[in-house]
């Protein structure tokens, strides 16, 4: 066993695990962050998707010893109130069926929206292609990503308007 300190959801998290322990098990078993799921263990399903320095990554394929100071974000760290536009859209459209794959879906979708705030259907399908859903919720996932883009866009428009009316946006 070796001691590592991982930066997870903005906090330093000490873990004492074998060097080759996948990040997935450090998150779930050591830190109790069980929102990240085990699906296949071979990088093929996307259930374990987290962000590493803002990029989607398969936690089942990342040995803890390889992470260093990179910042890990899990579904639990996406939004303090669980009210990220994707989480709002997922609830509004009842996207999940069994739910097992959905934290991975949301983490991949989040990375997509950072890169493309208004993604086309083709961009959504390409970005989400590595996240499998045994319940085949793909149509609702695509609708959820589009709805989240609208929610995020409306929220940023509202905050820009509020800043303008209070003068905060002026130089
Ligand atoms: S559990 Fe990691 S990709 Fe399937
Ligand atoms: S909602 Fe059941 S696996 Fe995706």
Q: Where do the structural domains in the chain lie, given as residue ranges?
A: 2-78, 85-163
DSSP label of 49: E
Ligand 1: distance of its center to the CA of 37 in Å?
8
Query: Comparing 2-78 with 85-163, is the CATH topology the same?
Result: no
Q: Which residues of the chain have pLDDT under 50?
A: 169-171
Res 167: pLDDT:
63
Average pLDDT, the chain: 94
CATH for the 85-163 domain, from 1.10.150.120, 3.40.50.300, 3.40.250.10, 1.20.120.1200 = 1.10.150.120
Res 169: pLDDT:
44
Long-range contact list for 87-96, CB < 8 A, 24+ apart?
88/148, 88/151, 89/144, 89/145, 89/147, 89/148, 89/151, 90/144, 90/148, 92/147, 93/140, 93/143, 93/144, 93/147, 94/140, 95/137, 95/140, 95/141, 95/143, 95/144, 96/135, 96/137
Question: What ligand is nearest to the CA atom of residue 56?
Answer: 1
Q: What CATH topology corresponds to 2-78?
A: Ubiquitin-like (UB roll) (3.10.20)
CA distances from 136 to 57, 95, 132, 169 (A): 22, 10, 8, 44
What is the per-residue pLDDT across 102-125, written as a single tens digit (0 to 9) for each? 999 999 999 999 999 999 999 999
- Report pTM: 0.92
Question: What ligand is nearest to the CA atom of residue 136?
Answer: 2
Question: To test the ligand 2 pocket, which listed residue (38, 75, 91, 98) has its Cβ within 8 A of the most ligand atoms?
Answer: 98
Res 170: pLDDT:
44
């Amino acid at each position: 066993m070796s001691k590592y300190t991982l930066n997870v959801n903005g906090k330093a998290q000490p873990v004492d695990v074998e060097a080759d322990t996948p990040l997935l098990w450090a998150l779930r078993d050591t830190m109790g962050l069980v929102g990240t799921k085990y699906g296949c263990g071979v990088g093929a399903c996307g259930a374990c998707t987290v962000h590493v320095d803002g990029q989607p990554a398969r936690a089942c394929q990342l040995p803890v010893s390889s992470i260093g100071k990179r910042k890990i974000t899990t579904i639990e760290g996406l939004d303090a109130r669980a009210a990220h536009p994707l989480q709002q859209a997922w609830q509004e459209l009842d996207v999940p069926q069994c739910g097992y794959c959905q934290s991975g879906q949301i983490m991949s979708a989040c990375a997509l929206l950072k890169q493309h705030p208004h993604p086309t259907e083709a961009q959504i399908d390409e970005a989400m292609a590595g996240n499998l859903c045994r319940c085949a919720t793909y149509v609702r996932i695509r609708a959820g990503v589009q709805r989240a883009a609208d929610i995020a866009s409306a929220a940023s428009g509202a905050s820009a308007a509020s800043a303008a009316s209070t003068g905060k946006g002026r130089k």
